[in-house]
Amino acid sequence: NSTSTIPLNFRIKETVCLSNDRRPLRECPFRAGGMERNCTGSFFRRGLRRTLTIDCTSDCPR
C-alpha cells in the first residue's frame, strides 16, 4: 500500500509530423513558429490505482 506522488514539469513544441505519420518521433523536426507550451502535473500512485494529471499553458495566446 505504498503511496507516492511524482511532480512533472516539461515543455512541448509542435512538430511537422502528423499524428498518423509512421516515422519515429526522433525524426520529426520542430515546426518553425510552431506552438509551444509549458506543462506541469503529477503522477500519483496509491496501491494499484494510478492517476496522471497534466496542464499545459501556451506561452503566447493565439
Q: What is the CATH number of the domain that holds 40?
A: 3.10.450.10
Q: What is the DSSP string of 29-59?
A: PBPTT--EEEEEEEEEEETTEEEEEEEEEES
pLDDT tens by residue, 14-62: 999 887 878 888 888 999 999 999 999 999 988 888 999 999 998 665 5
- Domain contains 40: yes
pTM, entire model: 0.68
Contact 55, 7 (CB under 8 A): no
- Domain contains 15: yes
- Domain contains 62: no
Number of domains in the chain: 1
pLDDT for the residue 61: 54
What is the domain range of residue 38?
A: 3-55
- Domain contains 61: no
Tell me which amino acid residue 53 is: T
3-state secondary structure of 26: helix
